[in-house]
Structure 1
């Protein structure tokens, strides 16, 4: 069975989480991981001014996502940063290109989950995941979150992302904070939880 991890990352935080999700997939019997990067729409000169060009080079070897890839998936994991409490334009453009699959009901019944990042603790991680769910419901997908059986989201001893809607990380105002051990544990738990449900649905 195939799990597709489809993500957009500007500064590398979501890229790191996507790789953690891929590693979790490979730990599950009978599953293979396919990493796919949503195309960048900003020119390199803009990315350079934003300090994001090095991260783009880091992700250069990741295969570009295509809508038709998702039809082949048994489970789908989306990773996205936050822009004003919502997914960025790059990810929205990719989602908007799924209309062909929508027309053919090709994604109906496929299990899916979402993880996210934001600059600050209250920068819209939860609203980004929740609003991401809306088009997924239109596509007929089965949404899976991060249940409270992941104890890491109940702790108050450290700054951390993660909520019942999905794993998340806090990049910091200057983007220097990378995902913590607890946040990565949330990604791993969420991924394996998704695949367990997908396996049951396949049966």
Structure 2
């Protein structure tokens, strides 16, 4: 079976979503996919970033991570998007990237791909599910195939979110349970994308 191409496109301010994205990349690679890990551009003003040392530090620590562009979306058979929640919606940095994809959408180049999403919020009820559902609205418009983790692995009964991997940043860095959930979500995305790809070429 031909390997699938998976783009993991994310925004992270202080590193929590970045950690989830890395775990997703590990899961996808272990499932046999070709993976591109890509961050979106930071749009916050320097004074806002400088006011939080952990934000400034994370920006330095991930300087070598390539920024996402439209070619990554065109290349991918499946895309996992990750962003922290902002008032129940994806962070504006990720939204800005998504809102730049109109030309691809108009050409039908975003349709029939597999999409999934993950997130982090400061508190347990800080908008995690609404953020993932908000990203789903975009996937509907693109004509995508949405693949959530569901309760398809025992790890989901520990991590607790069938919509997509979610982390409560207020308790610290993602735990191994949360990272394992992200790996599982990515493996599931790869499996479904591979089945769709094989079906189209059969």
Pair in the same fold by TM > 0.5 = yes
Number of residue pairs matched by the alignment? 194
Residue 154 of structure 1: how far off its partner (Å): 2.4
Q: Which residue of 1 aligns with 2:166?
A: 168
Residue 130 of structure 1: how far off its partner (Å): 0.5
1:153 aligns with 2:156: yes
Residue 162 of structure 1: how far off its partner (Å): 4.2
Q: Which residue of 2 aligns with 1:18?
A: 21
Residue 181 of structure 1: how far off its partner (Å): 1.2
Counterpart contact for 1:162–1:186, Cα < 8 Å: no
CA distance in 1: counterparts of 2:173 and 2:131, whole angstroms = 19
Counterpart contact for 1:18–1:79, Cα < 8 Å: yes
CA distance in 2: counterparts of 1:194 and 1:202, whole angstroms = 12
CA distance in 2: counterparts of 1:106 and 1:162, whole angstroms = 33
| Segments of 4+ moved more than 3 angstroms | none
Q: 1:47 aligns with which of 46, 49, 64?
A: 49
Unaligned runs of 5+ in 1: 156-160
Q: Which residue of 1 aligns with 2:146?
A: 143
Unaligned runs of 5+ in 2: none
Residue 135 of structure 1: how far off its partner (Å): 0.9
SS of 1:4's partner is: strand
SS of 2:8's partner is: strand
CA distance in 2: counterparts of 1:2 and 1:162, whole angstroms = 28
**Bigger RCO of structures 1 and 2 (CA < 8 A, at least 6 apart):** 2
Q: 1:64 aligns with which of 63, 67, 72?
A: 67
1:103 aligns with 2:106: yes
Q: Which residue of 2 aligns with 1:158?
A: none
CA RMSD of aligned residues (A): 1.2
SS of 1:80's partner is: strand
CA distance in 2: counterparts of 1:36 and 1:2, whole angstroms = 13
Counterpart contact for 2:36–2:72, Cα < 8 Å: no
Counterpart contact for 1:111–1:194, Cα < 8 Å: yes
SS of 2:89's partner is: coil
Residue 163 of structure 1: how far off its partner (Å): 1.1
CA distance in 2: counterparts of 1:181 and 1:162, whole angstroms = 14
Q: Which residue of 2 aligns with 1:34?
A: 36
Structure whose residues are more often helix by fraction: 2
Q: 1:9 aligns with which of 12, 15, 40?
A: 12
Deviations 1:55-74 (A, max 9, x none): 11111100011123201101
